[in-house]
Amino acid sequence: MTPRTPSARSSHGGALLPAVLLLLLVASAALTTSGHLAQQSGQRINTRSMAALDQARDALIGYAFSYPELNHDGQGIGYLPCPDRTNSGSVSLGACNVRDHGAFGRFPHRTLGLPILRDSHGQCLWYAVAGSVKHNPKPLILNWDSPGQFRIVSPTGRAISGAEHDVIAVILAPGAARPGQSRPSASAQRCPGSTSASDDLPDFLDRHYASDISGNIDIVHGEPETNVNDIAVWITVDELFDALRRRSDFPGMIDGILDAAATALQSQLADTSPGSPGAVFLTTQAETLIGNRAQGRLPDSATLGIASAQRHDNGRDQVRFVACTDDSACLTATLTDSTVSAPISATETCRALVLFGGERLRGSAPQRRKTATERADPGQYLEGTNHASTTTGTGNYVGYRHYAIADPHQPASEDLIRCIP
């Protein structure tokens, strides 16, 4: 089943439409002035557009949720489709712009197994996707810290989606044509416009957006009594992963990343005598050396010799290592099986540790992992004792052996640890 994530901005079209129409019918009995009737009509129009937008949003999340099963065997989850660039209803063959560039075009309804979705004015939906999550070319890393490229703002520039550009996908209903916009009539088989989404953008959306998006941009959500009538719904990376975490195999995916990393690191450190491959690995890969502890972020799959390249590389910026440079078992880790298991812990003695930071903390004291400086900071991944031990190069580590979701409505931010004896 396609997962549905709650949103303060949008509801699900199937449940929303009859409920709102019923309220409008009841309310109409008390409306007598033409002004009230005009307002009621506007609400009905907005409801029809929102129903189409919400259906499109749910379909995108379902696509990301089921990506490996959609003829993408062996690939990771979370990827979103490129837009329809040729007015065919489908994602075009080949890449949509270069890696890490976003793309703007029509909503690819056929690729998502949907009929043409139209707003209340009979116009087809438009769609922007960030380069950090698009499926072609894929980003080098995709995880719950992947950056967005979009911020949703009002026509006056007031931020609606938040202060940062954290939105990874936007769907827009263009509404009625504005002065200066030229739109051919719609047909049952195809959306109005030419076979070039890039050429058609100015005639359908009220701001001048490029089809190739190289940086962060603001997308304007229309408001009454303004010169913008585009209506938007959107998806943030947190909303996407709140849905992806509901896959029954999601904990196994995270454990698999950690297991493969630990096995590869153990192989690398089989011999750490002076001049050995293990010593060279620690010299080249450690970011800090405090006493007899070498610490750093794990390198990519090619350096580690990991076969499941995409899965490791998507999660590797979450993974750090600590290793004893003198080949001693200088590290101790007190481990519990998982957050949903019996709280029974055991202390292990280790030559090296693999540390997985988990989802970032949100709320009043959030962890931030957007910039290179933030991603290099262990405190943005590790908490409490583990952060202190990594920072000082002394002390013990505490964590869990396996990823588990104690509360599906909260990020699983607990640190995971693998001990290499």
Per-residue pLDDT of the chain (421 residues; tens, 9 = 90+): 444 444 444 433 344 333 333 333 333 333 333 333 333 334 555 788 999 999 999 999 999 999 999 988 878 999 999 999 999 999 988 999 999 999 999 999 999 999 999 999 999 999 999 999 999 999 999 999 999 999 999 999 999 998 789 999 999 999 999 999 998 876 667 899 999 999 999 999 999 999 999 999 999 999 888 899 999 999 999 999 999 999 999 999 999 999 999 999 999 999 888 889 999 999 999 999 999 999 999 999 999 999 878 888 998 889 999 999 988 999 999 999 999 999 999 999 999 999 999 999 988 889 999 888 999 999 999 999 999 999 999 999 999 999 999 988 888 999 999 999 9
Residue 119 near residue 125, CB atoms below 8 Å: yes
Residue 210 near residue 31, CB atoms below 8 Å: no
Ramachandran region of residue 419, left (φ > 0), alpha (ψ -120 to 50) or beta? beta
φ and ψ at 118, to 5 degrees?
A: -120, 150
Q: In what order do the strands lie in the sheet with 416-420?
A: 288-290, 293-297, 319-324, 352-356, 416-420, 397-400, 331-336, 345-350
Model pLDDT, residue 308: 77
Q: How far apart are CA 204 and CA 125, in angstroms?
A: 9
200: which residues sit within 8 A by CB, 6+ positions away? Answer: 87, 193, 194
Q: Could you tell me the pTM of the whole model?
A: 0.85
Model pLDDT, residue 45: 54
Model pLDDT, residue 409: 82
Among residues 173, 171, 160, the alpha carbon closest in space to that of 234 is found at 171
- Distance linking the first and last C-alpha atoms of the chain: 42
Contacts 24+ apart (CB under 8 A), 347-351: 347/396, 348/419, 348/421, 349/419, 349/421, 350/419, 350/420, 350/421, 351/269, 351/323, 351/324, 351/327, 351/420, 351/421
Model pLDDT, residue 213: 97
According to DSSP, residue 379 is labeled: G
Model pLDDT, residue 240: 96
- Lookup: tokens for 200: 């058609």
140: which residues sit within 8 A by CB, 6+ positions away? Answer: 99, 313
Tell me the three state secondary structure of residue 125. coil
Model pLDDT, residue 259: 95
Tell me the three state secondary structure of residue 166. coil
Q: How far apart are CA 9 and CA 171, in angstroms?
A: 13
**Cis? peptide before 137, omega within 30° of 0:** yes
